[in-house]
Structure 1
Amino acid sequence: METLNNIVLTIQHYLADYILIIALLLGGLWFSFRLGFIQVRGFGEGMRRTFGGLFHKKGEAGADGMSSFQALATAIAAQVGTGNIAGAATALAVGGPGAIFWMWIAAFLGMATIFAEAIMAQKYKQVGKDGEITGGPVYYIRAAFKGTFGKVLAGIFAVLIILALGFMGNAVQSNSIAAAFHTAFGIPQAAMGVVIAILALFVFVGGMKRIAKVTETIVPIMAALYIVGALIVIIYNYKNIPYAFHAIVVGAFNPAAISGGAVGATIKLALTKGVARGLFSNEAGMGSTPHAHAVAKVDHPVEQGFVAMVGVFIDTFIVLNLTALVIITTKSIPTGKTGAELSQYAFSTLYGKGGDIFIAICMFFFAFSTIIGWYFFGQANVKYLFGPKAVKVYSFLVAGCVVLGSLAQVDLVWNMADCFNSMMVLPNILALFALSGMIKKVHDDYYHNFLRNKKK
């Protein structure tokens, strides 16, 4: 087991720190230039559609898909997870404040990549055997690569995402909730795991309609709760806000110059940890969120592309950024803590024991919503591989993983989840590069034809 764990760690090290960073950054740069920096030009439209959907929800989710806002809420439910609390803290502890600057760069470029993912998911979505709209990378991978190669690549992606997110990933999320509640309230982790599994199963069996209803309700609440709680800490430490931004910018290029920075932080560490955390937090290029964007009911694929970009913005530039600013303004990095423990310490500087409780509550919302989102992504691929009848079995297996995950952290399972998560990026990003001509064509059709016809 130890030997296997070391092999998995070695593979993950080269994937995450080298291959994927290069592939995802190149993808972000390519689509940014190819689409005329759509993340800037289309940002206003994305915000209008997102917040218009929040206050003026249209349509119920059903066999014909979700509303655009419900699809975004499901995507954000998956994007905003424990990584926004623990992941940002780990990047800061290892790479120093400069890691946040590179998170910004990764997120900015990732907005163009996720735009491409969303419009391809929309273009190649299908009606499944159960009569429901479905979509995701397996369908545009098949469109990008015809014949046996495309089938094999799509099959590999489907297996990886089911294992990485549906089973192992959801065990990780459950463990994070159970551990946080045990720390804050003394609740046994096993009991918490059973509660989470029952709640999750209730949502799963309700199908797309219930998943959409839960995510569109939970996501605004959890975002508002965390934003307000974090802003109170940051405003309380307002005198350190200029220091925080100075530390982020200077630390990106000269970590040694930042007093109280992470011990041994270098430019390489700041860059790799910041970019990796930024990319894996917002999931741009990973092939996960296209499953949600595929089922949005929109008049043109580009409309959902705009909304998808806002998901990356909310995840990184708002939620993850607030975690970072809380930690830096409270000057908590030199404590030597890392992960969720560092975030808890930073919040506790103002809230005391309430900091643990606040993080536990946020962890529940973040991780539980991620369980729902990742279940939905895995479900689309279970249908693709085994048909609709396999979904019920899949839902109970996921619930079982949630219970088992709450009991104890098994390093091998956790590391395999990360490794499979990284592996599924490769077929997805390859397909996007292969379809870059089609992505540009759909983009141009929106501006040159759709908008003109709409005005008429």
Structure 2
Amino acid sequence: MLEFVQNINKVLWNYILIFLLCGTGIAFTFGLKFVQVRKFGAAFKKAFGGISLRGKKAGEDGMSSFQALATAIAAQVGTGNLAGAATAIAAGGPGAIFWMWLSAFFGMGTIFGEAVLAQVYKEKVDGQITGGPAYYIRKGLNSKFLAGFFSISIIIALGFIGNMVQANSIGTAFSKAFSIPTLVVGIITAALAGLIFVGGISRIAAVTEKIVPLMALLYIIGSLFIVIANWAHIIPAFKMIFVGAFNPKAATGGLIGVGVKEAVRYGVARGLFSNEAGMGSTPHAHAVAKVKHPEDQGLMAIVGVFIDTFVILTLTALVILTTGALDGKTTGIELTQKAFELGLGNFGNIFIAVSLFFFAFSTIIGWYFFGESNIRYLFGNKGLPVYRLLVLAFIVVGTTMEVKLVWELADTFNGLMVIPNVIALLGLMGVVKKSLKKYEELES
């Protein structure tokens, strides 16, 4: 079974989805005349101009634009930011980071389109504003089948299996750093998550707008401290990234014997998996933002990808490369832990455990919320109590087990939910273009 699922994932992620997601990103980037470049300054101003850790209380009519961005980033910045960059470097060489940047650049175009469509097609279900790909697939493409297929895929991929993966990362990290039994960590994590879930959209918004800026700041400071302490290796690290993008063996002196194909494949796949552009997850958060124009939230979505990939993922990569942690043998979270231990001594392990808790826990909140939007789409509010209990059970079970099959299944369902979303994005690109044109006419 494991081998069967792994083979599906190889075809799905290494070939089909890379071309689908990158192709969609390129199409949106050119179709919207490089909106991520033209409007980058305006996007940053919107995101951080009125930043507040105590925004207005979210409710049935949605949440503030910043709260929606924080909820989206909560989901984007997860264990993939710690393990993803390390996996990409270990499997594709330092040059994988260059391809990660390139895929994220085009991904900004995709995510702008996703957020705009989520706003255009949002609706009220049982008195609650909600939206996301299921809504724009059903109303925009007029396909109930694809909308239902997407909803079921994301509930399984993120709400259930994905949250098991995030919970497992917390359990493993805390067990290693503080010798706490994984079951105890699972029960505590589920209890904390449960308190947030029962508070609905208002509590989710209140928690993410506080936790996301603080966790990002904590990680940025810790990473910058290590990178600056190893300042003599900063330029060689960038050289390894740019040389490795086109000649991986030369970048590491043959330490990692891979070709350009692997550098591209792992960089693009890990980057897209981390920033979630085109996957159809973050539009659920952007749909409920209270904004004047859909494009206002589209610009906020661009900032989410920038923070995820160009800030957090890049800092992880620089810590690995400037500390000399890359040995050709260690990969994943172990490589990141090794790099932080080299940079911060014994405290490095604790720093990663705490960072991982914040990253993974915030992702659990974000992914729960995305699943909730789709439960509401399929069953209305009556399906929520059962969904909450199931997610909490998956969190507890997830911390105690390490089954490779669960990880592979998470990748499979993540891949499956991309397909209907990308079909909708390409089919509705005209709607986004028209909406952006009208927005720019109002601005001028």
Please confirm whether the aligned pair reaches a TM-score higher than 0.5, indicating the same fold: yes
For residues 301 and 262 of structure 1, what CA distance do their matches in structure 2 show? 48
Deviation at 1:58, TM superposition (A): 5.0
Q: Secondary structure at the match of 1:85?
A: helix
Pairing partner for 1:138 from 131, 134, 137: 134
- Kept in 1, the 8 Å contact 2:115–2:301? The answer is yes
1:72–1:308: 8 Å Cα contact kept in structure 2?
Answer: yes
Equivalent position amino acid for 1:14 in 2: V
- The residue aligned with 1:421 is 414
Deviations 1:297-338, CA, capped at 9 Å, x for gaps: 000000000000000000000000000000011111115111
TM-score (norm 2): 0.98
Question: How far, CA to CA, are the matches of 1:410 and 1:152 in structure 2?
Answer: 32
Superposition deviation, residue 59 in structure 1: 2.8
Give aligned-pair identity as a percent. 58
Residues 260 and 334, structure 1, Cα contact 8 Å, conserved in 2? no
Alpha-carbon separation, structure 1, partners of 2:159 and 2:325: 34
> In 2, Cα distance between the equivalents of 1:32 and 1:270?
23
Instruction: Please give the alpha-carbon distance, in whole angstroms, between the structure 2 residues aligned to 1:400 and 1:303.
Output: 37
Paired residue for 2:21, among 18, 24, 27?
A: 24
Residue 229 (1) aligns with residue 219 (2): no
Counterpart AA for 1:443? L
d(CA) in 1 for partners of 2:415, 2:318: 27
Between the aligned partners of 1:314 and 1:202, the Cα distance in structure 2 is: 28
- Where does residue 4 of structure 2 map in the other structure? 7
2:325 to 288, 312, 332: 332
**2:197 is equivalent to residue 215 of structure 1:** no
Correspondent of 2:357 among 353, 364, 372? 364
Cα pair distance change 1:411/1:257, threshold 3 Å: same
- 1:88–1:323 CA contact under 8 A, matched in 2: yes
- Residue of structure 1 equivalent to 2:69: 72
Contact 2:163 2:394 in 1 (8 A): yes
- Give the secondary-structure state (helix, strand or coil) at the position aligned to 2:50: helix
1:110-121 matched pairs, under 5 angstroms:
110-121=107-118
Q: Counterpart in 1 of 2:102?
A: 105
> In structure 1, what is the equivalent of residue 154 of structure 2?
161
Structure 1 pair 58–184 and aligned structure 2 pair: CA distance change class (3 A): closer
Structure 1 contact 77–215 (Cα < 8 Å) conserved = yes
- How far off its partner does 1:350 sit? 2.4
Q: Is the 8 A contact 1:112 1:309 kept in 2?
A: yes
- 8 Å contact kept, 1:76–1:311: yes
Matched, 1:292 2:285: yes
1:54 is matched with which residue?
A: 51
1:91 to 88, 91, 95: 88
2:165 matched to which residue of 1? 172
Shift of 1:103: 0.4
Q: 1:261 to 1:53 in 2, by over 3 A?
A: farther
Deviations 1:405-456 (Å, cap 9, x if unpaired)?
00011111211111100111000000010001111011111011x325xxxx
**Equivalent position SS for 1:54:** coil
Q: Aligned-pair distance for 1:259?
A: 2.9
Aligned twin of 1:395: 388
Distance verdict in 2 for CA 1:261–1:167, change over 3 Å: farther
Deviation by residue 1:63-98 (Cα, 9 ceiling, x = unmatched)? 100100000000000000000001110111010100
Distance (whole Å) between structure 2 residues aligned to residue 425 and residue 42 of structure 1: 26
Question: Post-superposition shift, 1:264?
Answer: 2.0
Of the structure 1 ranges 41-50 and 361-370, higher mean CA displacement relative to structure 2 is found in 41-50
Answer yes or no: is the 8 Å Cα contact 1:66–1:296 preserved in 2.
yes
Q: Given residue 214 of structure 2, which amino acid in structure 1 is its aligned partner? A: I
Q: Report the aligned-residue RMSD.
A: 1.1
SS in 1 for 2:281: coil
- The count of corresponding residues between Structure 1 and Structure 2 is 444
For 1:451, the equivalent position in structure 2 comes to 443
Whole-Å separation in 1 of the counterparts to 2:254 and 2:155:
38
Residues 119-158 of structure 1, C-alpha deviation per residue, up to 9 Å, x if partnerless? 00000000112x1100000011113322xxx101000000
In structure 1, runs of 5+ residues without a counterpart are none
CA distance in 2, matches of 1:178, 1:144: 42
- Provide the residue aligned with 1:248 in structure 2: 241
Residues 154-207 of structure 1: CA deviation (Å, up to 9, x unaligned)? 000000000000000000000000100011000000100000000000000000
Secondary structure at 1:127's aligned position in 2? strand
Q: What whole-Å deviation, never above 9, does each CA across 1:210-237 have from its counterpart, x for those lacking one?
A: 0000000000110000000000000011
| Counterpart residue identity of residue 443, structure 2 | L
Code of the aligned partner of 1:174: A
In 1, the alpha carbon distance for the partners of 2:297 and 2:303 equals 10
Q: 2-side partners of 1:166 and 1:23: how far apart?
A: 24
- State the match for 1:82 in structure 2: 79
